[in-house]
Structure formats: structure tokens, C-alpha cells
Amino acid sequence: MSGQKSTIYDTLNKRYRLSISNCSVTHHLSDMRKDCVVSKIMCPKVLFSVSFVCLFAAGCAGTAKQVNIVSACEYSSGIWQNDRCICQTETCQAGIVCSTLTLTCANHALPDNQEQPKIAQIPAEEALSLWQPDAESKKALISYMEMITTPGKDFVPAEDRLAVFDLDGTLLCETDPNYLDYNLYVYRVLEDPTYKDKATPKQIEVANKIVQVNETGTVPDGLDVEHQIAYMEVFAGMTIPEFTRYVRHFIDQPAPGYDGMKRGQAYYKPMLEVIKYLQANAFTVYIVSGTDRLQVRAASASILNIPEYQIIGSDGTIVASGQPQTDDLNRDNLHYVYKTDDKLIRGGGFIVKNLKMNKVAVIAQEIGKQPILSFGNSTGDASMAEYVISNNPHPSRAFMLLADDLERENGNQAKADKMSKMCEENGWIPISMKNDWTTIYGDGVTRKK
């Protein structure tokens, strides 16, 4: 063991000029250009892993110098995730950004009279600055985070800190005047000059049903799947980059129900703080949405600072551009070989609408672990919430948003009351948009009356 300790220390001192004594970091990491201040963290055992990140780049992008494993990262301009710096602000300072150096003791219990080290965290009040100080939902989240990051019986290791978020109505406005994918579909079928004359009678019928929902608030049974099938059809033949550009062009339009905001900016800022807060505490965050997966990737991945491969949604077929199309896609895919000049295109077929129990199934299939936090806003997220808090080996929580703000948001009091009652019955934690948040979309954004 002493030989291993010496080797690790020698490597650190030789490569990064770290001053380490008795398993504690007491000095700073020096670089040829600047110094990185490193916080002092004690570790009384020799079996440990060392992690640090030090970035050198303009615009908060760069490659990390890593020793062993990067387990947590916190710095002023962004968050460290998936081997890159992800900005949290519109402007990132050029130059050097350094994280806290984290030492994690492994496989050794500490004496009862010694304090165990904790992963560095953003102060909760700073991280959740857009929440009311006395918001019960905020207090519940902070208390939970303290519990699972404090070594002891409720401590959850970083690899098991998984959180799943619904999108529409949880992170993104779903009432302007409808879900973003519904709005995009209506635009494609009824307004887009490059497509509206090609739309089939069935596609037009579905679009008119959505318009009627926008006007009356009454949703016909089966519209969710009916829309998803038609949605896949109207974008068939687009390459993935073409579809991405199409979505981004659409969301660059002004939000119809608000002044001072575009469609693609209609994210709940307090919930964006929650994502950043979780990521700063070593959570891996997934989006589990009922919206088309490729649309969510195109519209939301960069804003949410979540990699595209951690975005799950409803799925349609994807095929090669040179692939013959028949009614038997499974047979086609098993007989066709992708060619050098092929491109991936949307196939137009419908696979799954990712709502309700389908969210649980896809979490099991794609994540492979039971998350410990769930955030949603509707009955479409109820199965996901129950799955997260049922028979979980770790402490777990489910939060649900209440659409109860009728001034700053196109809220729905009846829906909010229904969800509040469900929270009480199921042990979910309600988040009141009206009472818990100091803002929804930020300064300068107002709802049109």
C-alpha cells in the first residue's frame, strides 16, 4: 500500500506540482500561466481516488487534465459534464477555470470521532436563487441533497445519483398555446409553404383537432398517439441535420402568448437552476419526454446543458437514404446494408409514444438503473414518479409542478388542484409555480393578457 501511495504522490507532484502531505491537499495547483486555488480536503486513509479538472480555453470549452476519475466539479462559469465544460451563463470568461479538487476515500470506514469528506456542493441558496426562501419544495430538495451527500446510511454514491425530468410543463411552457411539438406540427401542416399543399386529409384533420383543443381546452381521447403518428409522417425524408435546422428555425419565432420571449426561450428558469444544482452534486440528469426525441435534442439539449444521449423521448423510424421503403421496415432493416454515401433520414414510421408506463419501460431499457429523483407535472408522469419512489434501494423523491400561476404563466387552476391532491395521496412533493418561484421566465418577459 505504501508503494501505491508513493507512486500516486510522485505522479501528482511531478506532473502538476501539487503539495500533498498525509493525504491532504494544502496548497495550490500551479500552471505556466496562472494558479488554480484548490480547497483543502482531508482524507485519513491511503486508499483513495483523486480527481480534478483544470480548463484552458476561450468560451468555456476545453479538455480536462484528469488524474484517476473526475467525480465532482464546480466552478463559476459552468458545470463539468461528459469531459467538457458546459456554460451556465450567456457569456463565459476566456482563460482558465479550475474546479475543486476532490479526494474520495474508498473502502475504509473512518473512526467514529473523525468527519468524513463530502463532495463539494454549490451553496443551495446560491444555486436556487430564483426560489422563495420559505418554499417548502425548495427546503425538501435541499434537505434531501444534504442527506444523500453526507456519508452515512443514506449516502448515495455518484454513480447512483440519477434524476429524470419530464419536459413539457416541467421545464418548458406547454400552454402557448399547447405542447411545443403540437405547435410545430400545426405549423408544418397548416402554415409551412413548403409542405401545407402536400399534407394528407388525415394530417390536416389531426392539425385541426389540435387547433380546436387550443380554442376549447377539451382534448379528445387518443389525440396523443394520433398526433404522434401524423407527426412522424410529416417530417419523413428529412435528414437529422435538416430536421434540427427546421426545429431551431421554428423556435426562433416569438412566443405568441408572451412579450419579450421566443418559443425556444420558454423554459422555467427556477427549474433550470434545479438541473444545475443536481449536476453540481454529481447527478446524471436525463430528460424523459413524451415529445419526439429528435425534436427535444434539437430544441433543448444545449439550453438544458444535457448531452443528447441523455435525452429520451417518443420515437419514430430512422432509415438510410438509399434504403428501399416497403411496409415491412423490420425486414428492410435486416436486409439493407448502410452505404458510404447514405445519410440517415426520418423514416416516417411510428414506434412509441413515451408517456405513462412507457416512460418506466424506457428508463429500464435505456438507463438500466432506478433513478432516485423524478420531476414531472401531469398524470403522464405518474408512473415514472411511482417507479422512482417504489422499492428503491436509496432514498428517493418525486416532485410535481403545479400549474397554479395565472398571472405570469398560462396556468390552469383545475389541473393544479388535481395534481395537488395526487401529490397528497401519493407522497409526491408539489412545486407551486405561483408561490415557490420569484420568477418564471425572467425579467422582461410578460404574459399577454
Spatial separation of the C-alpha atoms in residues 153 and 141, rounded to whole Å: 18
Give the pLDDT confidence score for residue 257 in this predicted structure. Answer: 97
Nearest to 206 by CA among 188, 225, 230, 187: 230
Instruction: Write phi, then psi, for 8 (nearest 5 degrees).
Output: -65, -45
435 CA to centre of own chain: 24
Which cell numbers in the block locate residue 92? 463565459
Q: How many CB atoms lie within 10 A of CB 59?
A: 12
Q: Specify whether the backbone of 348 is left (phi greater than 0), alpha (psi in -120 to 50) or beta.
A: left
Q: Which domains, and CATH codes, for the chain?
A: 2-120 (no CATH), 124-449 (3.40.50.1000)
Give the pLDDT confidence score for residue 81 in this predicted structure. Answer: 52
Q: Is the peptide bond before 133 cis (omega within 30 degrees of 0)?
A: no
On whether the CB atoms of residues 95 and 58 are closer than 8 A, the answer is yes
Give the pLDDT confidence score for residue 324 in this predicted structure. Answer: 86
Strand pairing class (54-57; 95-98): antiparallel
Spatial separation of the C-alpha atoms in residues 136 and 243, rounded to whole Å: 41
Spatial separation of the C-alpha atoms in residues 29 and 23, rounded to whole Å: 16
Give the pLDDT confidence score for residue 56 in this predicted structure. Answer: 28
Q: Which helix (H) or strand (E) holds 146?
A: helix 136-149
Beta bridge partners of residue 432, listed in sequence order: 402
Please report, in tens digits, the pLDDT of each residue of the chain (449 residues total): 333 333 433 433 333 333 333 333 333 333 322 333 333 333 333 223 333 333 322 233 333 333 222 333 333 334 445 544 444 433 333 222 333 333 333 333 333 443 433 444 568 889 999 999 999 999 999 999 999 999 999 999 999 999 999 999 999 999 999 999 999 999 999 999 999 999 999 999 999 999 999 999 999 999 999 999 999 999 999 999 999 999 999 999 999 999 999 999 999 999 999 999 999 999 999 999 999 999 999 999 999 999 999 999 999 999 999 998 777 776 778 889 999 999 999 999 999 999 999 999 999 999 999 999 999 999 999 999 999 999 999 999 999 999 999 999 999 999 999 999 999 999 999 999 999 999 999 999 999 98
Strand pairing class (35-36; 95-98): unpaired
On whether the CB atoms of residues 295 and 162 are closer than 8 A, the answer is no
Give the pLDDT confidence score for residue 326 in this predicted structure. Answer: 75
Give, in degrees to the nearest 5, the angle at Cα 235 between 166 and 165: 5
On whether the CB atoms of residues 255 and 266 are closer than 8 A, the answer is yes
Spatial separation of the C-alpha atoms in residues 231 and 316, rounded to whole Å: 9
Nearest to 426 by CA among 393, 390, 372: 390
Give the pLDDT confidence score for residue 327 in this predicted structure. Answer: 72
Residue 190 DSSP symbol: I
On whether the CB atoms of residues 119 and 281 are closer than 8 A, the answer is yes
